[in-house]
Structure 1
Amino acid sequence: MTDSLQFSLDGGVATIRFNRPQVFNSVNKDVALALQHHLRECQQNPAVRAVLLTGTGKAFCAGQDLAEITGPNAPEVADIVEKHYNPIVELIRALDKPVVAAVNGVAAGAGANLALACDVVVAKESASFIQAFSKIGLIPDSAGTYFLPRLIGMQRASALMMTGDKVSAQEAVQMGMIYKTFPDDTFEQEANALARKLAAMPTKGLAYTKQLLNQSFGNDLTRQLRAEGDYQLRAGSTADYKEGVAAFLEKRQPTFTGQ
């Protein structure tokens, strides 16, 4: 693995941290492959019950490291997208645990869209989001054209992608792009507290919710209602459902195990 991407596990929360502050946490091959590895590790490890994706320094992630795709022997941009970014997005969406993007600074290009692929996005009040692709003649990738119009509508998504205008964290909340902001001085503590809250919740129920949300993009109403019935049957057979009901009846706080 690489020091450019840090991984730690504590209290059920796996923290994955971009760690190339000198280049605003831009992604190169080593970072992309390490991120894929850690996301697979989070899926397979039952001790992981939530994932927190964040960055070191002033940036969350500035997207692709352009130094890697310039020069005589540079790989094709399309090859980078297919092998590096697309698998990351698919792993985030398939992960049976909630993934929180804690945007600690600027999130640009693919960095912005990797954040938007996560289940919950929170940001520092001073953070910003930029669909920077048009500024260098590229198109938004990393599922940006999939998630952003679904989050904020076609008109706003089209404008932001074509102009490359910067969106402040507060504006991102107002337009429904992200969940909420936290003050800069308490951001890390509050983002960690959110991830820990999710890690202490019924993990399988959250996974089923995530799978239903994934399906809702392609289902009509009848298929979605049927899917809800199927997943509710699964959720009702979990140990956490039994614990939740028992705790409610006994007027105490539940202790969920993720089973």
Structure 2
Amino acid sequence: MTDHLLIEKNGSIATLTMNRPDSRNALSLEMRAKLNEAVIDLEADDSIRCVVIKGAGEHFMAGGDVKSFKDFVELDPDNRRKTFEARIHNLTPTLVALRRMKKPVIASVQGAAAGFGLSLAMACDIVIAGESSFYTMGYIGIGATPDGSGSYSLPRIVGLKKAMEIAMLGDRFGAEAAKEYGLINFIVPDDELEAETKKLAERLASGPTFALGKTKELMHASMVNGLEQQLALEAESFSQCAATEDWAEAIVAFSEKRKPSFKGK
């Protein structure tokens, strides 16, 4: 049996590779279990300062393993409901940990990012994509609704009306449109995706990890906080950063007119 998720740690960068290329890396039960285990592990690993999620082969992820869903068609409706409710709840710890993780998470997207694949990319902090990558929510095509936090992320990124269009019509769109909608950050030539992902991950991994984590926390909090709450959180966050070794190093480096050497502390 091939491992459905490959985990590589290289210095301060961890790479999670969804590894079912023959199925466009469709989400299997094994993959979701290993993805959850890996994300929880990396969240607690202080030696890791940036996480990359990508797919093996030509695609990022084409969503759930729809072919396997046929096994459940003969179940009565109540049992089908219970089965899929449990499956989708099982994804919750992974998605919460990705958001909670106090280090940057990059989605490196090639080929298809469909269904849960698009939801997963949106759950990451930064998305870098090959120029021929393409995207679709896709759920409506199988008579279903978004999962994997897709219905949470999509309207916050693209706005409610555009989210309705993307989710209800289920149309496929390319990298340029995805960048225009705010779903991805960077488009690079397909044959440069691996190298450009590495450069981006190294840049983030060499940054002030504590401050990056607090920045992530601030940005998410701003979506639900009022002004006064957010101002209080900003004061708390900045002061916590000022207590770190990285902040002190950055201030000294600024005065000495050199680049700071961040240790992630």
Deviation at 1:2, TM superposition (A): 6.4
Deviation at 1:66, TM superposition (A): 2.0
Matches within 5 A, 1:120-131: 120-131=126-137
Contact kept? 1:11, 1:196, Cα under 8 Å: no
CA distance in 2, matches of 1:185, 1:119: 23
CA distance in 2, matches of 1:128, 1:51: 22
1:87 matches 2:77: no
TM-score scaled by length of structure 1: 0.96
1:217 matches 2:236: no
Partner of 1:180: 186
Partner of 1:14: 14
| Residue identity opposite 1:43 in structure 2 | E
Contact kept? 2:107, 2:127, Cα under 8 Å: yes
CA distance in 1, matches of 2:2, 2:53: 16
| Residue identity opposite 2:26 in structure 1 | S
Deviates more, 1:87-96 or 1:195-204: 87-96
Contact kept? 1:114, 1:142, Cα under 8 Å: yes
| Residue identity opposite 1:76 in structure 2 | T
Percentage of matched positions with identical amino acids: 35
Partner of 2:58: 58
Decide which of 78, 98, 110 is 1:104's aligned counterpart: 110
Deviation at 1:229, TM superposition (A): 0.7
Matches within 5 A, 1:91-240: 91-240=97-246
Deviation at 1:68, TM superposition (A): 3.6
CA distance in 1, matches of 2:135, 2:97: 22
Deviates more, 1:1-10 or 1:247-256: 1-10
Deviation at 1:65, TM superposition (A): 1.0
CA distance in 2, matches of 1:69, 1:95: 32
Deviation at 1:59, TM superposition (A): 1.0
TM-score scaled by length of structure 2: 0.94
CA distance in 2, matches of 1:19, 1:143: 22
Deviation at 1:32, TM superposition (A): 0.4
Please give the root-mean-square deviation of Cα atoms over the aligned residues, in Å. 1.5
Question: Which residues of structure 2 form unaligned runs of 5+?
Answer: none
Deviation at 1:88, TM superposition (A): 1.7
1:29 matches 2:29: yes
**How many aligned residue pairs are there?**
258
CA offset digits 1:119-143 (Å, max 9, x no partner): 0011100001110000000001111
Deviation at 1:3, TM superposition (A): 1.2
| Residue identity opposite 1:131 in structure 2 | M
SS state at 1:59 partner: coil
Question: Which residues of structure 1 form unaligned runs of 5+?
Answer: none
